[in-house]
Structure 1
Amino acid sequence: MVDSTVPGDRTQRLRPHDPRMLGDYELLGRLGEGGMGTVYLARPRNGTALVAVKVVRLDLADDDEFRRRFRSEVQRARQVPPFCTAEVLDADPEHEQPYLVVEYVDGPTLAEVVEQRGPLTSANLHSVAIGVATALTAIHGAGVIHRDLKPRNVLLAPGSPKVIDFGIARAMTATSGNTRPDQMVGTVAYMAPERFDTDADTPITPAADVFAWGSVVTYAGTGKTPFYADSPAATAARILTQPPRLHELSRPLRGLVAHALEKDPANRPSARELLDLLISGERPAATAAALADQPDLRAAAAEAQAVTGYAIPAKAMAGTATAPTLNIPPGLVGYDENSIVTVPISSPPAETEVTGGTEPPPRPGRRWLLPLTVSVLAAALIAGLVILGLVIRGPAAPRDGAAGADDAAPTSDDPVLGRPMITDALDREAYWKPSEQAGEGRCDFIDGRLTAHRDTDGLYKCRGPADEITGDVTVDVDTRVETPLSCAGIWLRFLKTQGYLVRICERNVYLGVHRGDDVRPRRTFVLTDPIQLDTAVRIRLRITGETLTISRDGTEIGSARLTEPDLQTGKVVLGVFDEREAPPTAPYQVSFGNLRIWDH
């Protein structure tokens, strides 16, 4: 019999062959059964808090490779902080039947709620979106990938949603028995395009979880997945080749979900960026309604933002520019798009091969010969005139009438980039000039450095050269964070009121898009070695094509795709910003020195 003191609606009686004790845990009833094995409701021998114990199937338990992977995955999953996640409490990979102990969450799954009551209301949908993004931020911040995020793995518990079954999906994949090494297991409707790649070496990255987030939110808000079709094979084909159906979602959530469902994993936001945009998006009223009377969810989101911000560099998430080819096998099994199905990775092509995607078509090929010849001749002519001018007139005066700017700092050439376009020691007025705006901020030269200061939270841009650079650019500058929660701002391709903004903070580096009064984060890089206050670091920002690479003291921090089509040209700007995720404090102050800029 099930103990009458435990929740009974979701618990079944133990069966005759079920164990009554497992290690230090007394089993009280069955919570469910799945591909891994059986999930039991249990109570620790010397405790009262209920837990869920997941017991591995016997055929998996006999596999040494499985046990090794299970042990490794569980160890990593235990590092995930409990921010909207079911905490991993214990495990015994060496038991006759390995088991995992997790926090028991008394609540229905998201799938059950939608099936029984229909799509969520706007406020509840926003709450679920925030909760799942918070969980993924925590999971990814611990270096773990969920791999099977779906509505049945989201529990709507009192206080906040809880994501379960994270991090051990790979360990649950059998290495013998019914699942072979040339197969993958997943829930088709929530699988990212790259997971259908016929190249078995293609790694699963956090970007796949972000794609699943978009599908989960769509299902929660509409009752249908964004690529729903009549069969798993047809759903997979739509995932690869068609845009998502999002017309029933309200804005601005629709735009964020569309961003998460990009075909190319490198174009998707990170989980941290999703969370940032959900909390401080276009409609603050929606966030307020979603977090109203939910202090647990509000606290979990704030903790995830403050402690576990994480993003994978674009190169680590890189996928093909177009969707991978899917050879839909005749034997693809499953009853609906939500079924967990087994897809042979290396199967013979079916009669119909589905290829392509919704990415923009490649740019037309260029006729290079004539333009190249003209360019070479023009370059030779210009070079000759420049050399002649230097011989006749000596060193050129700095632009904007800044006397002596080129003498203010060493003009050493870079072995790769050559001679800088602008060199400024930033120790006195030259290319950059003092400026001040009452109530906003000021920039001045203090102790031989360009210092940017604000008395209140917000941003302030220093007055610098008006040179507009189109295309590739590299910026090298000594950067110092001088007060807590301050960030050095470096704007790229900034024109009038918009451009890219890189914030260099003590613990994080942020890439955002600045438009008017709005700065929206696009990528967050966590610094494993935080920047010390009043300690200069050499920051290099290099745009090559559509990729921005950020380095610190010669070591790459990460890279990101620049995807805004209207931000192709503009100025380099220096200034100060606050750590937006932190509580307000003042003053904010940073400083810069020894700047070099190349256009290349």
Structure 2
Amino acid sequence: MRPEPLRPHDPARLGSYELVGRLGEGGMGTVYLARTAAGAQVAVKVVRADLSPDDEFRRRFRSEVARARQVPPFCTAEVLDADPDAEHPYLVVEYVDGPTLAQVVDDRGPLTAANLHSVAIGVATALTAIHGAGVIHRDLKPRNVLLAPGTPKVIDFGIARAVGGTATGNTAPEFMMGTVAYMAPERFGDAEVPLTAAADIFAWGGVVMYAGTGRTPFGGDSPLATAGRILTQQPDLSGLGGPLRELVSYALSKDPADRPSARELLDMLVAGPSRPAATAAALAGQPDLRAAANQAQSVTGLLTAPAPGEPPTPEGPTVPVSAVPGMVEPDQERRGRRWFLPAAIALLVMAVIAGTMMLVFGSPADQVAGPGTTVPATVSPLPPAGPLLLADDLDRNRLWLAKTEPDGKSSCVFTGGELHVRIDGKPLYKCRGPQDTLPDDLSIDVGVRLVSDGACAAIWYHFKLPRGGHLVRVCQDNVFVGTHQSAEVSVTRTLPLDNPIQVGGPPVRIGLHVAGDVVTVSRDGVALGEAPLGDAEITGNRVLLGVFLDRDTPDSGSAEVAFDHIEVREPGRPGPR
């Protein structure tokens, strides 16, 4: 971004940073180019002076700092420092030396085909990481896309919200946050309707359209006219050709349930069977962009095609195209597109890495509805597991991510080749995990170790914010199978362990095989029992890991468990082992 000179009223210093120019200005404050004591260039965002005394704006600024820290730096400006409690609160991020997409298009005109595909991949990569960190950006537009060397970066989380948080539509004109031309239809509706990550996908479609043609798909002669066209008309995609036109059309669907997720979008951009030439051209000579896309994808996504003469990337196994939601093999007949997204706008919340959202549903005494029915471990033999959907060794940041809450009392950390989850003074905690939308029927296999007395390892499946999902708690003497919805944990079946799990001992392999309305639980490959899924209205499709305080143990207030290597597979068909 090209800096402008400082204005007379601008401060000369903030903390240890010397301000040398202006990079931009928005509703919450001004972004300055600054120098550190060592002479390095950084960008410093400062809250407006008239807003600094306002507790609500300080709260929002603290929230922005927290969200910015959650997002991986390969797709945005890395957070270097922050002081939300200063007289003039500020956030320091790396200075990205590159123009905005808006500047490039305004100065030079629409992008060429290869450059356009590169930008489409780069922004989809950023959204995959942003949504994976539990954030909805809400103001994606060409001015917030920096064409940095290596890979585009999405910036400015000033009006972003956490996925599943309190983000809502913006009905009141005076509270119309964002840029109208890139706002999804649901943002003009009921202010109480939760906003979802699908709104960012709609904005992606508008950004790509603008980058490729120099105009927006719903352009009107006023913001009101543009909003009317977004609500009532189909996008004008004239001038946009090639393989991107179809993806942009999907992204601009009126119903958020019809749009792909960021991960699905990225998968189709880099590995769609009809797009090998466009992908090769977009990634040619751009190893940073290819690496960023691979990092944003999980093992459930298709990896980017290697450059000529380059060996395939070792970042996890490649899965068949047919295993990716919304994609089909080249020789398969298209029978319609399946996005695995819910249909109801009001209930649609694209849940992402769970630890970002740490939900605490009441006190331990309020959470557990009872021990359920104890049953003997007499069940049918376990069916074979099918093709791999996702896998993670849980020894480093990959699908599951490390996180420590500001109070230090809840954390997910990698140590000793395991993912350790700890709580102190709280009843439960979930780790930030993949946002993959998985099928209803699946098999989960994960190593579990109880590190402290009173700790239960928790495995959620069919999970979705804010409703919750099915829950299996692995405790020292029992495995509790049931549901976790809103403020209530119910137990439908208690499976006693003849051989209790040794606290501090070696890990055990816990398996969950979900087929129809029954889940079969196993330990080290031996079935413990079956449990009905029940009649609860559970519509999610995510798998989460975490810790739960054992209600039947004297209340120590703290608990710790560890997980190692998790695999999620389709059930019922033999798969690779």
Distance 1:212 1:71 in 2: 25
**Equivalent position of 2:98 in the other structure:** 107
**Equivalent position of 2:207 in the other structure:** 216
Q: Secondary structure at the match of 1:83?
A: helix
2:229 alignment partner AA = R
Q: Secondary structure at the match of 2:23?
A: strand
1:575 alignment partner AA = R
Q: Is the 8 A contact 2:194 2:346 kept in 1?
A: no
Post-superposition shift, 1:247? Answer: 3.6
Q: Is 1:162 aligned to 2:144, yes or no? A: no
**Equivalent position of 2:540 in the other structure:** 558
Which of the residues 569, 572, 575 maps onto 2:573? 575
**Equivalent position of 1:38 in the other structure:** 30
Q: Is the 8 A contact 1:109 1:154 kept in 2?
A: yes
Distance 1:48 1:536 in 2: 54
Q: Is the 8 A contact 2:385 2:571 kept in 1?
A: no
Q: Is 1:64 aligned to 2:25, yes or no? A: no
Distance 1:530 1:90 in 2: 39
**Identity score, percent:** 65
Q: Is 1:301 aligned to 2:283, yes or no? A: no
Q: Is 1:127 aligned to 2:118, yes or no? A: yes
**Equivalent position of 1:480 in the other structure:** none
The within-5 A match list for 1:276-355 is: 276-282=267-273, 283-306=275-298, 314-315=341-342, 318-319=344-345
Report how many aligned residue pairs link the two structures: 368
Post-superposition shift, 1:534? Answer: 5.8
Aligned CA distance change for structure 1 residues 138 and 509 (closer, same or farther; 3 Å): farther
Post-superposition shift, 1:240? Answer: 0.5
Distance 1:541 1:208 in 2: 32
Distance 1:159 1:300 in 2: 9
Q: Is the 8 A contact 1:313 1:558 kept in 2?
A: no
Aligned CA distance change for structure 1 residues 82 and 307 (closer, same or farther; 3 Å): farther
1:165 alignment partner AA = D
**Equivalent position of 1:537 in the other structure:** 512
**Equivalent position of 1:351 in the other structure:** none
Q: Is the 8 A contact 2:28 2:47 kept in 1?
A: yes
**Equivalent position of 2:79 in the other structure:** 88
Aligned CA distance change for structure 1 residues 506 and 215 (closer, same or farther; 3 Å): farther
Please give the per-residue CA displacement for 1:408-449, whole angstroms capped at 9, x wherever unaligned: xxxxxxxxxxxxxxxxx885xxxxxxxxxxxxxxxxxxxx74
**Equivalent position of 2:45 in the other structure:** 54
Distance 1:505 1:38 in 2: 49
The within-5 A match list for 1:294-443 is: 294-306=286-298, 314-315=341-342, 318-319=344-345, 427=381
**Equivalent position of 2:250 in the other structure:** 259
The within-5 A match list for 1:180-195 is: 183-195=175-187
Q: Secondary structure at the match of 2:297?
A: helix
Distance 2:471 2:120 in 1: 28
Distance 1:206 1:240 in 2: 18
Please give the per-residue CA displacement for 1:67-119, whole angstroms capped at 9, x wherever unaligned: 11221232122111113211222221111121111221111111111112111
1:298 alignment partner AA = R
Aligned CA distance change for structure 1 residues 83 and 557 (closer, same or farther; 3 Å): farther
Aligned CA distance change for structure 1 residues 509 and 95 (closer, same or farther; 3 Å): closer
Q: Is 1:248 aligned to 2:239, yes or no? A: yes
Please give the per-residue CA displacement for 1:521-579, whole angstroms capped at 9, x wherever unaligned: xxxx999999999642132457xxxxxxxx9978958259xxxxxxxxxxx994256xx
Which of the residues 218, 236, 250 maps onto 2:227? 236
Q: Is the 8 A contact 1:61 1:98 kept in 2?
A: yes
| Structure number with bigger Rg | 1
**Equivalent position of 1:463 in the other structure:** none
The within-5 A match list for 1:404-553 is: 427=381, 449-450=383-384, 535-540=510-515
Aligned CA distance change for structure 1 residues 552 and 76 (closer, same or farther; 3 Å): farther
1:296 alignment partner AA = D
Aligned CA distance change for structure 1 residues 201 and 291 (closer, same or farther; 3 Å): same
**Equivalent position of 1:344 in the other structure:** none
Aligned CA distance change for structure 1 residues 168 and 308 (closer, same or farther; 3 Å): farther
Q: Is the 8 A contact 1:42 1:53 kept in 2?
A: yes
Distance 1:301 1:41 in 2: 29
Distance 1:540 1:304 in 2: 30
**Equivalent position of 2:68 in the other structure:** 77
RMSD: 4.5
Q: Is the 8 A contact 2:138 2:161 kept in 1?
A: yes
Distance 1:96 1:183 in 2: 26
**Equivalent position of 1:225 in the other structure:** 216
Aligned CA distance change for structure 1 residues 122 and 530 (closer, same or farther; 3 Å): farther
Aligned CA distance change for structure 1 residues 17 and 73 (closer, same or farther; 3 Å): closer
Q: Secondary structure at the match of 2:50?
A: helix
2:222 alignment partner AA = S
Structure 2: which 5+ runs fail to align? 163-170, 302-323, 326-338, 348-378, 389-437, 448-458, 463-467, 475-506, 518-530, 543-569
TM-score, normalisation: structure 1? 0.54
Q: Is the 8 A contact 2:41 2:95 kept in 1?
A: yes
Aligned CA distance change for structure 1 residues 300 and 78 (closer, same or farther; 3 Å): same
**Equivalent position of 1:547 in the other structure:** none
Q: Secondary structure at the match of 1:246?
A: coil
Post-superposition shift, 1:125? Answer: 0.9
1:252 alignment partner AA = P
Aligned CA distance change for structure 1 residues 306 and 559 (closer, same or farther; 3 Å): closer
**Equivalent position of 1:116 in the other structure:** 107
Distance 2:299 2:469 in 1: 10
Q: Secondary structure at the match of 1:159?
A: coil
Q: Is the 8 A contact 1:56 1:97 kept in 2?
A: yes
Distance 1:130 1:526 in 2: 33
Q: Is the 8 A contact 2:78 2:94 kept in 1?
A: yes
Distance 1:85 1:527 in 2: 35
Distance 1:19 1:72 in 2: 24
Distance 1:204 1:35 in 2: 20
Aligned CA distance change for structure 1 residues 453 and 36 (closer, same or farther; 3 Å): closer
Post-superposition shift, 1:231? Answer: 1.8
